[in-house]
Structure 1
Amino acid sequence: MPQRRSHVAPSAAQTELAVALTALRESLDAPVEFPAEVIAEAEEAHAAAPERDLRDIAFATLDPQGSRDLDQAFQLERRAGGYTVRYAIADVPGFIEPGGAVDAEARRRGQTLYAADGSIPLHPRMLSEDRASLLAGVDRPALVWTFALDDAGTVSDFRVERALIRSRAQLDYVSTQAALDRGEDGLWALLPEVGALRIEQERLRGGASLNLPDEEVVRAEDGTYAIERRRPLPVEEWNAQLSLMTGMAAASLMLDARTGILRTMPQPDEKSFDAFRLQTEALGRPWISGEYGEYLRGLDREDPLTLPVLEAASMLFRGAGYVAFDGETPDSTMQAAIGAPYAHATAPLRRLVDRWTLAICLAVSRGEEVPAWARDSLATLPALMQESGQRASRLNSATVNAVEAALLTPFVGSMIDATVIESRGERATIQIAAPAVTASAPLPTGAKPGDVVRLKVVRADIGRGEVDFEI
């Protein structure tokens, strides 16, 4: 799916939207600013001493353009019989004093929130966007995972250690994909090769990637808001495989130590599989045989019916949560979509739980006891992450709803064409092409997913984030 962007033009609707987004931010009890004692402690924070100096390694980061909170840097090289992959993660555990003011505030926030008019960070920006961030051209402490992969992309060995690194380049997805498409060489050269091998390993594990188009509210330089929808670029999927590989390694370390926290998701039940099969048949793209992950990977991304199929498949990717354990491994350890035990370990600047994962894995890899602060607070993490996840979900959905209502304000009283993505009884999820809006609407008689229907926009309430249609 090509990138599509629909703008809210400067107008009364734009002003009303700005007021609505401000009110939404205030309703979440998620202040941008930090208490004075948190700022003071962050200013005094110093990184833990590194065990190794890896500044001679040519790491690079790969993120959305303009990012400042850089959690990961990679370095790939070919070796006899396979590859060496180094994945450096920002050493947030080394900066934060357990039980201190920064720690307490991070536990209250849970994760960085991304609003339409800026982010609400997990940590003070002097840490998350400066001294702890893996910015290019400066020395930074990191927790470096080193993987030995064979020529099929299977991990044969790995280790994690505290080190000093210096990233050589801050890459972004769009320009890096363009450079790859042009055949240019660079720090990214082996990423397609290693990424493709890891995707094949995912297939062999029975894992599945949904890869729905991204939906993001962005703010233009002129102050207008837009909804941008685009399919993840191949370079993003290859890069994500490095993060998944690290998360699986972290899970294995914690399971061996019988102490840690996993990100789990149950395998879909047969009722869900049966419902999904019926939907694929109704769409004319039947899932007949094989694993559902293999079926999803084989969909033609240029087929207009692929989006409705992927939306229907989202019912299979439910029930994700966190499971903390100490002394005994949990009964359920699998993340079904990944096809293996998995832990969040690669975004400590933006997600609270990763700091625990990294601290535990570093101790286990050294043969040391798990830090008491991490062990004593493990049981509190699932609830903290669930609460922050719900806050992030509310912010995202309410922001998108408000912007979509603003986009449709000029169309009130007019007819508009929409594609049915999913039907539920007498209502449907619809996709409007211009402006790019996904909404709920009455389902015309006989219409089914994939059909284009004509609807009348009868109301657009920006403050409530609601849009009403009539058949």
Structure 2
Amino acid sequence: MPSNVVVRVRTSSPELQQGLEAIAKELDLPGDFPAEVTAAAERSAADVVLPELDRTDLPFLTIDPAGSMDLDQALHIERSGPGGKGFRVHYAIADVAAFVRPGDPVDVEANRRGETLYGAGTRIPLHPPELSEAAASLLPDQVRPALLWTLDVDAAGTLTEVRVERARVRSTARWSYVDAQKALDDGSAPDVITLLREVGELRNQQEVARGGISLPLPEQEVDESDGGLRLVFREQLPVEQWNAQISLLTGMAAAKLMIGAKVGILRTLPPPDPRDVARLRRVAKGLRISWPHDLDYPGFVRSLDPAVSEHQAMVVACTRLLRGSGYAVFDGELPEQTRHSAIAAEYAHVTAPLRRLGDRYAGEVCLAICAGTAVPDWVLAALPGLPKTLQDSARRAGSYERAVLDLVEAAVLADRVGETFDAVVTSVRDDHPDSGVVVLAEIGVEAPVTSDGGAALPLGDDVRVTLASADVAARKVAFTLS
């Protein structure tokens, strides 16, 4: 099944736990931080110097998954502009560079890891928890160094002004997505969260107008009930999408700054391959989702209802069109590819430096541009090698998530071998037309399928398939055409 979802395992199944340990060993995932890295993090936490600019007067708040400790972003929004019809968004981003020095043990280890890895209810952090979950995290009632983005948005949701500067900030409250959505629904939400809905909806409209796509990627959870395992999707809440729009707004503003100054690092994505779009149409058919021939891909994605399990599976399948994403580094001459096709704009990662390595460097570039100073030499020296480091870490994260999903699907189906399911053939191998892939509408799973008699699989057709095997140790499931 396509990846980019977080699998939460709510079970003590020994077989699953053994599988997770095998994945970690197989992929050579990072383990505990070396002692010298932890010691360096503790020293930097004790010696941090706060910026002179004091914006602790702004009552920031954070909105994250329940229980999160690595809080990269804190938000404050107020009305502004003529007649109070516009908005001023203050977005504080954790200042990792205030704690991590170029070439120090934490920096070296972060460059080895590349990003925080998520899956199966665990996280393998980019930075030691002494920083990522404590000294650098924007936890409530703590004064923290931050990169403070000030983004002015007009009544239509259009960005009009942007600046970023170092400042000391203080979050006054930590909200979970569930609690924030509940407060919005019952009318008890504070002004900042109410304004987040207004700005988020305006930015959603801007996204539609420019042809962008935001995939409301679901999380998958494995629950243990009645002696068996069950794979379910968790619906993404509207407040999560509005919060994501603020991050997108900041990333687009950062890209605009860097392109104007002709120095920086962009996140890029080429237009989707028409063959991949055609394959997605077959997946939609398998999930019994209507996709009219005159409806384009962005319009189809916006028609999906995250509350419907088949639609959630379709959203996950749509991540196939995110293949080919990369990074473009430049200093003096713009690269040929600057746009991110899914966002339908230029874009840069700058809002999650506790969890993504590249955000720290991109943030420093934007700070220098806004201050009218030269980009620091340590940033310029690192830029050329960043794309490979980031791509390598992204591949490892993808491999990890795919392995976890394969493991979970095998475990969920382990006691259903011999059962028959409705499915549709979504792809057929050119060299072996009796082999391909099916999608199962009932459980939203994609898996290999073969035709027993060697006949060619009927591409795009509704079929009945039998679960031939579900090997948890090998993390593989296979079906045969009934």
Find the aligned partners of 1:379 and 1:395 in 2 and give their Cα distance: 26
| Cα contact 1:93–1:358 (8 A) shared by 2 | no
Q: Which piece of structure 1 moves more, 30-39 or 124-133?
A: 30-39
Is 2:244 aligned against 1:234?
A: no
Aligned residue number for residue 479 of structure 2: 469
Q: Following TM superposition, by how much is the alpha carbon of 1:244 offset from its aligned partner in structure 2, in angstroms?
A: 0.4
| Cα contact 1:6–1:226 (8 A) shared by 2 | no
Q: Following TM superposition, by how much is the alpha carbon of 1:459 offset from its aligned partner in structure 2, in angstroms?
A: 1.9
Find the aligned partners of 2:155 and 2:450 in 1 and give their Cα distance: 53
Aligned residue number for residue 291 of structure 2: 285
Amino-acid identity (%): 44
Q: Following TM superposition, by how much is the alpha carbon of 1:60 offset from its aligned partner in structure 2, in angstroms?
A: 0.9
Aligned residue number for residue 68 of structure 1: 69
Instruction: Pick one of 170, 178, 181 that aligns with 1:177.
Output: 181
| Cα contact 1:95–1:132 (8 A) shared by 2 | yes
Q: Following TM superposition, by how much is the alpha carbon of 1:273 offset from its aligned partner in structure 2, in angstroms?
A: 5.5
Aligned residue number for residue 332 of structure 1: 337
Find the aligned partners of 1:415 and 1:259 in 2 and give their Cα distance: 57
Q: Are residues 467 and 303 of structure 1, via their aligned partners in 2, closer, same or farther at CA, if it must alter by over 3 Å? A: closer
Q: Which piece of structure 1 moves more, 15-24 or 424-433?
A: 424-433
Q: What CA deviation, in whole Å up to 9, does each residue of 1:326-354 have, x standing for no partner?
A: 12111111011111110000010001000
Question: 2:19 is matched by which residue type in structure 1?
Answer: A
Q: Following TM superposition, by how much is the alpha carbon of 1:285 offset from its aligned partner in structure 2, in angstroms?
A: 2.2
Aligned residue number for residue 18 of structure 2: 19
Aligned residue number for residue 158 of structure 1: 162
Question: 1:261 is matched by which residue type in structure 2?
Answer: I
Q: Are residues 226 and 92 of structure 1, via their aligned partners in 2, closer, same or farther at CA, if it must alter by over 3 Å? A: farther
| Cα contact 2:197–2:239 (8 A) shared by 1 | yes
Aligned residue number for residue 438 of structure 2: 429
Instruction: Pick one of 90, 96, 102 that aligns with 1:92.
Output: 96
| Cα contact 1:59–1:73 (8 A) shared by 2 | yes
Question: 1:202 is matched by which residue type in structure 2?
Answer: E
Aligned residue number for residue 211 of structure 2: 206
Find the aligned partners of 1:375 and 1:244 in 2 and give their Cα distance: 24
| Cα contact 2:250–2:350 (8 A) shared by 1 | yes
| Cα contact 2:56–2:143 (8 A) shared by 1 | yes
Q: Which piece of structure 1 moves more, 421-430 or 242-251?
A: 421-430
Is 2:249 aligned against 1:245?
A: yes
Question: 1:30 is matched by which residue type in structure 2?
Answer: L
Is 2:462 aligned against 1:457?
A: no
What's the secondary structure of 2:97's corresponding residue? helix
Instruction: Pick one of 114, 119, 125 that aligns with 2:123.
Output: 119
Q: Which piece of structure 1 moves more, 189-198 or 440-449?
A: 440-449
Find the aligned partners of 1:6 and 1:101 in 2 and give their Cα distance: 31
Q: Following TM superposition, by how much is the alpha carbon of 1:420 offset from its aligned partner in structure 2, in angstroms?
A: 3.8
Question: 1:98 is matched by which residue type in structure 2?
Answer: P
Question: 1:244 is matched by which residue type in structure 2?
Answer: L
Question: 2:135 is matched by which residue type in structure 1?
Answer: R
Find the aligned partners of 2:189 and 2:458 in 1 and give their Cα distance: 53
Aligned residue number for residue 51 of structure 1: 52
Q: Give the TM-score, by structure 2 length.
A: 0.86
Q: Following TM superposition, by how much is the alpha carbon of 1:178 offset from its aligned partner in structure 2, in angstroms?
A: 2.0
Q: Following TM superposition, by how much is the alpha carbon of 1:429 offset from its aligned partner in structure 2, in angstroms?
A: 3.4
Find the aligned partners of 1:21 and 1:300 in 2 and give their Cα distance: 32
Q: Following TM superposition, by how much is the alpha carbon of 1:97 offset from its aligned partner in structure 2, in angstroms?
A: 0.6
Q: Following TM superposition, by how much is the alpha carbon of 1:276 offset from its aligned partner in structure 2, in angstroms?
A: 5.9
Q: Are residues 189 and 6 of structure 1, via their aligned partners in 2, closer, same or farther at CA, if it must alter by over 3 Å? A: closer
Q: Following TM superposition, by how much is the alpha carbon of 1:399 offset from its aligned partner in structure 2, in angstroms?
A: 1.1
Q: Following TM superposition, by how much is the alpha carbon of 1:395 offset from its aligned partner in structure 2, in angstroms?
A: 0.9
Find the aligned partners of 1:307 and 1:217 in 2 and give their Cα distance: 13
What's the secondary structure of 1:343's corresponding residue? coil
Find the aligned partners of 2:246 and 2:142 in 1 and give their Cα distance: 23
How many aligned positions are there? 456
Q: Within 5 A, what are the aligned runs for 1:247-396? A: 247-269=251-273, 284-288=290-294, 292-299=297-304, 306=311, 310=315, 313-396=318-401
Find the aligned partners of 1:107 and 1:235 in 2 and give their Cα distance: 32
Q: Which piece of structure 1 moves more, 363-372 or 418-427?
A: 418-427
Q: Following TM superposition, by how much is the alpha carbon of 1:448 offset from its aligned partner in structure 2, in angstroms?
A: 4.3
Find the aligned partners of 1:218 and 1:158 in 2 and give their Cα distance: 43
| Cα contact 1:311–1:422 (8 A) shared by 2 | no
Find the aligned partners of 1:257 and 1:318 in 2 and give their Cα distance: 28
Q: Following TM superposition, by how much is the alpha carbon of 1:9 offset from its aligned partner in structure 2, in angstroms?
A: 6.2
Q: What CA deviation, in whole Å up to 9, does each residue of 1:272-298 have, x standing for no partner?
A: 566667887996421415x53234323
Question: 1:440 is matched by which residue type in structure 2?
Answer: P
Q: CA RMSD in A?
A: 3.0
| Cα contact 2:305–2:312 (8 A) shared by 1 | no
What's the secondary structure of 1:50's corresponding residue? coil
Aligned residue number for residue 198 of structure 2: 193
Q: Following TM superposition, by how much is the alpha carbon of 1:117 offset from its aligned partner in structure 2, in angstroms?
A: 5.0
Q: Following TM superposition, by how much is the alpha carbon of 1:27 offset from its aligned partner in structure 2, in angstroms?
A: 2.2
| Cα contact 1:215–1:227 (8 A) shared by 2 | no
Aligned residue number for residue 39 of structure 1: 38
Instruction: Structure 1: give runs of 5+ residues left out of the alignment.
Output: none
Q: Are residues 279 and 37 of structure 1, via their aligned partners in 2, closer, same or farther at CA, if it must alter by over 3 Å? A: closer
Aligned residue number for residue 432 of structure 2: none
Q: Are residues 260 and 132 of structure 1, via their aligned partners in 2, closer, same or farther at CA, if it must alter by over 3 Å? A: same
| Cα contact 2:180–2:189 (8 A) shared by 1 | no
Q: Following TM superposition, by how much is the alpha carbon of 1:166 offset from its aligned partner in structure 2, in angstroms?
A: 1.2
Q: Are residues 279 and 364 of structure 1, via their aligned partners in 2, closer, same or farther at CA, if it must alter by over 3 Å? A: same
| Cα contact 1:262–1:322 (8 A) shared by 2 | yes
Find the aligned partners of 2:473 and 2:10 in 1 and give their Cα distance: 15
Q: Are residues 81 and 307 of structure 1, via their aligned partners in 2, closer, same or farther at CA, if it must alter by over 3 Å? A: closer
Q: Which piece of structure 1 moves more, 461-470 or 337-346?
A: 461-470
Q: Are residues 129 and 76 of structure 1, via their aligned partners in 2, closer, same or farther at CA, if it must alter by over 3 Å? A: same
| Cα contact 1:7–1:226 (8 A) shared by 2 | no
What's the secondary structure of 2:181's corresponding residue? helix
What's the secondary structure of 2:249's corresponding residue? helix
Question: 1:328 is matched by which residue type in structure 2?
Answer: E
